[in-house]
Structure 1
Amino acid sequence: MLTSTHCCIIDIGRCACIHGRFQAADSMLQCILYQRAVVPALVGQILACPETPQERRFAQNYSKVREALKEVFRSHNRDSIRQVVILFGNSCLLPREIYSIQVDLCGIQGPDVCHPDCSELTEKELRRVSATLLFDIFGTNFDMSAAQATQVYVFVQASSSLRFPENLMEEE
């Protein structure tokens, strides 16, 4: 049963390129995993030093998902990506929560070229993204017992076919 939907508008104080939007989507995914108790610690801590077999498996799987997203969020796909949707629940058909990040870009120079000011988000901008997520989005009530047997699904909506490496395949 769907309990909530969240559309995330993240203002970092400047125009964000496709690479910055990837970082925002990655931050949102990490926040959801931690805030909804899917993982026992911050994702960054688990990735840096996985201690248990479950943490090692999570680190391996999360790294694959992150690399897949990073490959999709390349300059040649910049005109196609419209939004990232993260579903949280026992099934992607019946999600408990839906989070969407609109991907609006500025300074478009061409389909394969980034704006001259294109850069990744700074540490300060990443903190702003995290603060927005924690206080504006994740402040809602949530039944933490529901997180025990929960899956997280990540979808990228595009206006046309995305280009990505041949060896990138959908896995678990």
Structure 2
Amino acid sequence: MWDKLKNDKYVKDLLVKLVTVLFVAAIALLLFDVLTQNKDGRRQIVDMDGGTEYTQAEDIATDEEKRLEQILSQIKGVGDTSVMITYQDNKSTETVFGSEYGNKNHKVEGVIVTCEGAGDIIVKNNIINAVAAVFDIPAANVMVFEKSSIKQ
């Protein structure tokens, strides 16, 4: 029976038409997706939990970030420093003996440091070790980058 179907011209035409229709449909879906995106190809993510965005570092920097910037800039070879700290929210739950609902404990999840002296591997290593020790986080959660000399 399979041999009969393989040699039948009607079945071959039908198969070619089916494959062509599927191919055109796939291309149409891809084009539809591309055409409905923003100009730069990215989609906007809406933050529904009321979080804040980093728009201007001076206005939003926390006291902890400012203190860390001040301390790190005093290390030999570091220079001008900027710091961003990200936190992991641990919401407490209700217990049998009392209600702790709504209390938030902020634990540092990661730190980004930009400084003038980060091009030196020893300075970079010192910064990573200092930040990891202060916040008791793994060194892999601390990113250090050399600060751009170009002011915007």
Please give the range of the TM-score, normalised by the shorter of the 2 chains: under 0.3
Higher relative contact order (CA 8 A, sep 6+): 1
Q: Report the TM-score, using the length of structure 1 for normalisation.
A: 0.23
**TM-score, structure 2 as length reference:** 0.25
* Bigger helix fraction: 2
